Amino acid sequence: MAQELLGFFLSLLGLVGTLTSTVLPHWYQTAYFNTNFVTASYYMKGLWMECVSHTVGIYQCEFHRSMLSLPRNLMAARILMVLSCTTSILAAIFSSAGMKCTHCAHQSHAKGFMAVIGGSGFVLAGILCLITTSWTTIDVISNAYGFFSTAGIKYEIGYAMYISFSSAIFSICGGAILCVSSWDVGNYRHQKVSTVQQIRDSNKLQHMPDHLANTGFEN
């Protein structure tokens, strides 16, 4: 049970981090290379909005209103992160129902299997989140330090991507722990139920009359 709880809580941390990083606009943040000027504005870009923070304390954000005007990499990142969040939520539902410490589907053969499905869902969600984060990181680095990069305002990795990367690790590790522990629990329950059923069948045969218990014929 301790391994199940550890895996579940790690996966929940991954779920919360994935949701947080998906909503935050700090995927890209301004960086300056080969320049000496100082600006009074700080720009940020996320999956859903672009924000600018001024030194006077004004913070303004604008949502991406048109799907057609979005770059392909941003649109793909948005789709993958939404899939990751959805998969994590479904995995949390299956895991909570299949864990040993819950009373949902108690003494059912499918209880351990539900927890394994939930753990696998967390692993899949973590992989989707990790792919998105790695892809975006490579894109930011290539644009900032690439051969064809130009001087001026560029974007570097924002702290939302660090949250996303950590969330992916938590989801993958937690889901793997949950799968291993729940698989052992599921096999143990199946063996236990089978043993109990055999004992009950043998007791029924012992209490039955001889002419009913004997199914063979004597020559």
pLDDT of residue 31: 64
pLDDT tens sequence across 78-114 = 999 999 999 999 999 988 887 777 766 566 667 778 8
What average pLDDT is seen over the chain?
77
Arithmetic mean of pLDDT, 12-32: 88
Task: Extract the tokens encoding 109.
Answer: 């053969």
pLDDT of residue 106: 63
Placement of tokens 């995995």 in the chain: 91
The set of residues, in sequence order, having a beta carbon less than 8 Å from that of 151 and lying 6+ positions away, is: 33, 34, 35
The amino acid sitting at 78 is R
41 vs 39: CA distance, rounded Å = 6
Arithmetic mean of pLDDT, 33-58: 72
pLDDT > 70: what percent of the chain? 70
Q: Which residue has the higher pLDDT, 33 or 4?
A: 4
Q: What domains are there in the chain, each with its CATH number?
A: 2-203 (1.20.140.150)
pLDDT of residue 193: 44
The amino acid sitting at 109 is H
Return the top range by mean pLDDT from 33-47, 62-76, 159-173. Answer: 159-173
Q: Which residue has the higher pLDDT, 42 or 27?
A: 27
Return the top range by mean pLDDT from 24-38, 94-108, 109-123, 155-169. Answer: 155-169
Residue 191 has pLDDT above 50, yes or no: no
Confidence of residue 40 (pLDDT cuts 50, 70, 90): low
129 vs 48: CA distance, rounded Å = 16
- Is 48 in a helix, a strand, or coil? coil
Nearest to 64 by CA among 79, 55, 75, 56: 75
63 vs 77: CA distance, rounded Å = 16
pLDDT tens sequence across 126-160 = 999 999 999 888 888 877 665 444 555 677 888 89
The set of residues, in sequence order, having a beta carbon less than 8 Å from that of 92 and lying 6+ positions away, is: 11, 12, 15, 118, 122
The number of CA neighbours under 13 Å toward the Cβ of 37 is: 6
DSSP letters spanning 61-80: EEE---STTS-HHHHHHHHH
How much is the pTM?
A: 0.74
> For residue 51, what is the enclosing H or E element?
strand 49-54
Helices (H), 24-54: none
